[in-house]
Amino acid sequence: MSESSSLPRLNRNGHAKLAQLCLSGLPFTQVDLDSSRLAIIFYCLGTLDLLGVLGTKILEAQRARWRDWIWEQQTHGNYGAGFRPSPYMTAEDHNSEREYTEYDGPHLIMTYTALMSLAILRDDFAKLNRAGILTFIRLCQQDDGSFSALPNGGEADLRTTYCAFVICSLLGDWSGMDLERAVAYIRRCSSEEGGYGQTPDGEALGGTTYCALASLKLAPATSTSHWELHNTSAERLRTIRWLTANQSSSGGFCGRTNKIADACYCFWCGASLSMLDAGEFVDTAALASFLGQCQFKFGGIAKAPGERADPYHTYLSLAALALFQSPNTDESWRLPRLDPLWNATLETACWAREHIPATKSNS
């Protein structure tokens, strides 16, 4: 009995439709996304990228309008430059020449999702305020090495650390952070179980373990490589042990020990294993079976079977499937290769790395 006999088709059209529907508008019941709209947009665009419909079904004129809107969120002022989540705090009489006000400034996580979204849309990044973004990151860094989402407040945890590392890495310029301090903060989030908590002293969690490992891997080699230094064989094995144990009997991964499986952790834990060169330990057939069951009948993928789909779980499920192609699946499950470190298709990651740095490699 093969897994494929019970495996449904991947509902590619349904998943693409959910992403397009969200991009065209959200109901008021989702008003809580107003202050993180660029993140939802990133998940929707990432979904369309993985499903290969951006170049075929979406007209260039449409993609250009999307890029224009994202660029409208880039803003500069007192704390440097970056992207705001949406114009939810922007006044009607605003014009882009003017500096932002105290409560309408850039947000670190949104700046990361904006850059990745623009790369998905193959922007040339001519309008990117690189120096302003470096200033912004510098002002977000706290004394303990962490980064707050806003220079004048907001959350600071491994998610914002990851965003700062990706941005500096993309810009090819680390002058915006105190790297040693940032790495020390990551180390303080390491938990006794082998994973990393969201903040120091926290319980090991799949998503923030991904953030920690990816950041260490992105860090430039200084006198010693942070990746080698902080991944001694014993520590690496401990992390691999915890990550593989998170694949539950349902085939999906849980984010913490003894929790039930959740589609998003198939990516966070799976990609973490890939970065540790341990991706082969994932049971890909069981993973596909679980995510197949998480498909919502009207399109999109939910966190667990029987739940409602959303852009976040849809994108991360597809990203997990792109990383871990199961041999027993039909052609509906074929997805382009994904880079676990950049959390983007190889082509998008390549575009970002080619177009975001200030000086192109060929100049």
Partner 1 sequence: MSAESEDVPLYAERPEWSDVVPVPQYQGVDALAPINYSAEYQDATDYFRGIIRMGETSPRVLKLTRDIINMNPAHYSAWQYRYKTLIAIGADLTEELRQMDDFALTNMKTYQVWHHRRLLLTALRSRDAAAGELAFTARVLAADAKNYHTWSYRQWLLAHFNDEERLWAGERAWVEDLLEKDVRNNSAWHHRFFVVWSSGVREGDEDREAVGRRELAFAKEKIALAPNNPSAWNYLRGVLEHTKTPLSALTTFVQLYTVSSPSIAPEVMDLDNPVPTEGAQLPCVNALEFQADIYEQEGGTQITKAVEIWKSLANEYDTMRKKYWEYRIKEGLQTTHT
User: Residue 153 binds which one of Zn ion, partner 1, none, with CB within 5 to 8 A depending on kind?
Assistant: partner 1
User: Residue 264 binds which one of partner 1, Zn ion, none, with CB within 5 to 8 A depending on kind?
Assistant: Zn ion
| Minimal distance, residue 153 CB to Zn ion, in Å | 26
| Minimal distance, residue 44 CB to Zn ion, in Å | 16
Distant-in-sequence, close-in-space partners of 314: CB < 8 Å, separation ≥ 6: 15, 18, 19, 43, 47, 300, 301
Name the H helices within 172-310: 179-188, 206-218, 226-229, 233-245, 263-275, 284-293
**Footprint (CB under 8 A) of partner 1, residues 269-298:** 278, 280-281, 283, 286
| Minimal distance, residue 339 CB to partner 1, in Å | 22
Among 50, 70, 120, 134, binds partner 1 (CB under 8 A): 70
A 10 A CB-CB count for 181 gives: 14
Query: Site mask, partner 1, residues 235-274, x = CB under 8 A?
Result: -----x-x-xx-x-x-x----xxxx---------------
The tally of CA atoms less than 13 A away on the side-chain side of residue 261 is 27
Closest-CA residue to 39 (of 160, 127, 169) = 160
Which chain residues interact with Zn ion by CB under 5 A? 262, 264, 303
For position 143 contacting partner 1 by CB under 8 A, the verdict is: no
Distant-in-sequence, close-in-space partners of 14: CB < 8 Å, separation ≥ 6: 295, 296, 298, 299, 300
237 vs 325: CA distance, rounded Å = 24
For position 30 contacting partner 1 by CB under 8 A, the verdict is: yes
Binding segment (CB under 8 A) for partner 1, from list 185-193, 222-230, 292-300, 333-341: 185-193
User: Residue 306 binds which one of Zn ion, partner 1, none, with CB within 5 to 8 A depending on kind?
Assistant: none
H or E element at residue 44: helix 37-50
Residues contacting partner 1: total by CB under 8 A? 69
188 vs 200: CA distance, rounded Å = 5
When the beta carbons of 150 and 218 are compared against partner 1, the nearer one is: 150
For position 155 contacting partner 1 by CB under 8 A, the verdict is: yes
User: Residue 256 binds which one of Zn ion, partner 1, none, with CB within 5 to 8 A depending on kind?
Assistant: partner 1
H or E element at residue 224: none
Single-letter residue type at 217? K
A 10 A CB-CB count for 35 gives: 15
User: Which bin fits 205, alpha (ψ -120 to 50), beta or left (φ > 0)?
Assistant: beta
| Minimal distance, residue 358 CB to partner 1, in Å | 27
Among 8, 9, 57, 91, binds partner 1 (CB under 8 A): 91
Chain contacts with partner 1 (rule: CB under 8 A): 22-28, 30-37, 40-41, 44, 65-66, 68-70, 72, 86-94, 101-104, 150, 152-155, 191-193, 197-199, 201-205, 240, 242, 244-245, 247, 249, 251, 256-259, 278, 280-281, 283, 286
